[in-house]
């Protein structure tokens, strides 16, 4: 979210407060740099609007005079600028966090901001890849097509196996070090926001990594990356995404079959097998259970599809039996047995 080329610069103490708060998000709460940048942009958008809307300074104390009407005016401005409900909801969340910090740190009245209601929006459901298609992706990667060195095929198969078998994000798989292998029974993964989690490692994932290492021609340093590119440098996520896109096209899979979708598949298939939402939350490293609950909606959709198909089959069989009964009933012109 941007204030635009003509957005006024913030008063110096407002800008300083935003930077101090952003630093606290990074150091105290451990939020990822991209998340901190997004929050900073969101809050700057609100403050830039207020500076233009009020047309006056007044220091941090002036921010304590924000009203419900001011918040509504900003939200109307944001929507008229083309912001989606989802983006505006995030901006309101960031503004609440900033004004809550101002209240605790500087005694600025924050009630009108904290009371602001975010617009409702429909959360997009995760789109997992069916288990048989995951198997096809990994098997095709391992088999290769002769266009790449054999060790590259084994490397990509190992990465995809970790994404699906351990539920890793692609960034988490590619930050593994050489000293992490042979993979232990449990990996300690540092994910978003610096949150750590323990992830069990399936034998098939361990074996895939060992097969890659046995074929890799590069001497890998203990503190260096586990997965490397053709020239021995750290493997780029873009190359993994490109490889999956090629396989997707070859196998006739939908565009939603991405490396990250393998993590969705891990979560959905595990939830369907165990029903333990809390365990899946811990394995994925989600800060909020509501994020993990999205996978229950996926499972509900799948179950409804199964139900509808079963109902249609039942209706067809019932209709067929009725037609046969009519055709063999003597009173209705049929032939008696």
Instruction: Give per-residue pLDDT as tens, 216-226.
Output: 999 999 999 99
> In the predicted model, is pLDDT for residue 270 greater than 80?
no
297/56: higher pLDDT: 56
Q: CB under 8 Å, gap of 24 or more: what pairs does 39-45 form?
A: 39/94, 39/97, 39/98, 41/1, 41/2, 42/1, 42/90, 42/91, 42/94, 42/95, 43/18, 43/91, 43/94, 43/95, 43/98, 44/3, 44/10, 44/18, 45/1, 45/2, 45/3, 45/7, 45/78, 45/91
CB-based burial, 42-52: b 16+ in 10 Å, e otherwise: bbbbbbbbbbe
Tell me the chain's radius of gyration from C-alpha atoms.
27
d(CA 259, CA 106): 45
- Mean pLDDT taken over the chain: 79
Q: Which of these ranges, 252-256, 263-267, 292-296, has the smallest mean pLDDT?
A: 292-296
> In the predicted model, is pLDDT for residue 133 greater than 50?
yes
pLDDT interval class at 210 (50, 70, 90): very high
Three-class secondary structure of residue 177 per DSSP? strand
> In the predicted model, is pLDDT for residue 310 greater than 60?
no
Which domains, ranges and CATH numbers included, belong to the chain? 12-114 (1.10.150.130), 131-260 (1.10.443.10)
Write down the pLDDT at residue 230.
94
Write down the pLDDT at residue 136.
87
145/309: higher pLDDT: 145
Six-digit token string for 73: 């005016």
Q: Provide the annotated active-site residues.
A: 169, 192, 260, 263, 286, 295
The verdict on whether omega for the bond into residue 132 sits within 30 degrees of 0, i.e. cis, is no
> In the predicted model, is pLDDT for residue 150 greater than 50?
yes
Helix axes 33-54, 68-80, angle to 10 degrees: 110
Write down the pLDDT at residue 280.
56
**Percentage of the chain with pLDDT > 90?**
33
d(CA 281, CA 289): 6
187/306: higher pLDDT: 187
d(CA 259, CA 272): 21
């Amino acid at each position: 979210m941007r204030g635009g080329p003509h957005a006024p610069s913030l008063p110096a103490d407002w800008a300083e407060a935003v930077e101090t708060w952003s630093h606290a998000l990074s150091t105290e709460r451990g939020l990822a740099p991209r998340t901190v940048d997004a929050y900073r942009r969101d809050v700057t958008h609100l403050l830039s609007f207020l500076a233009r809307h009020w047309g006056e300074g007044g220091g941090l104390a002036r921010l304590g005079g924000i009203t419900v009407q001011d918040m509504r005016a900003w939200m109307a401005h944001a929507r008229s600028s083309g912001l989606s409900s989802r983006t505006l909801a995030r901006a309101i969340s960031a503004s609440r966090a900033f004004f809550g910090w101002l209240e605790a740190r500087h005694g600025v009245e924050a009630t009108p901001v904290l009371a602001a209601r975010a617009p409702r929006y429909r959360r997009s459901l995760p789109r997992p890849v069916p288990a048989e298609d995951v198997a096809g992706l990994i098997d095709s990667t391992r088999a290769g097509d002769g266009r790449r060195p054999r060790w590259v095929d084994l490397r990509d198969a190992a990465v995809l196996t970790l994404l699906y078998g351990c539920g890793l994000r692609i960034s988490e798989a590619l930050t593994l070090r050489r000293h992490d292998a042979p993979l232990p029974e449990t990996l300690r993964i540092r994910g978003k926001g610096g949150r750590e989690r323990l992830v069990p490692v399936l034998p098939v994932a361990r074996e895939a990594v060992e097969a890659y290492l046995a074929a890799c021609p590069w001497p890998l340093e203990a503190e260096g990356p586990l997965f490397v590119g053709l020239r021995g440098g750290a493997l780029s996520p873009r190359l993994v995404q490109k490889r999956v896109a090629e396989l997707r096209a070859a196998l006739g899979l939908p565009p939603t079959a991405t490396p990250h979708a393998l993590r969705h598949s891990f979560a959905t298939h595990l939830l369907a097998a165990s029903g333990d939402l809390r365990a899946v939350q811990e394995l994925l490293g989600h800060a909020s259970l509501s994020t993990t609950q999205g996978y229950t909606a996926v499972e509900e959709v799948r179950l409804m599809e199964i139900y509808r198909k079963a109902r249609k089959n039942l209706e067809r069989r019932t209709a067929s039996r009725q037609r046969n009964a009519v055709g063999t009933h003597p009173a209705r012109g049929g032939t008696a047995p």
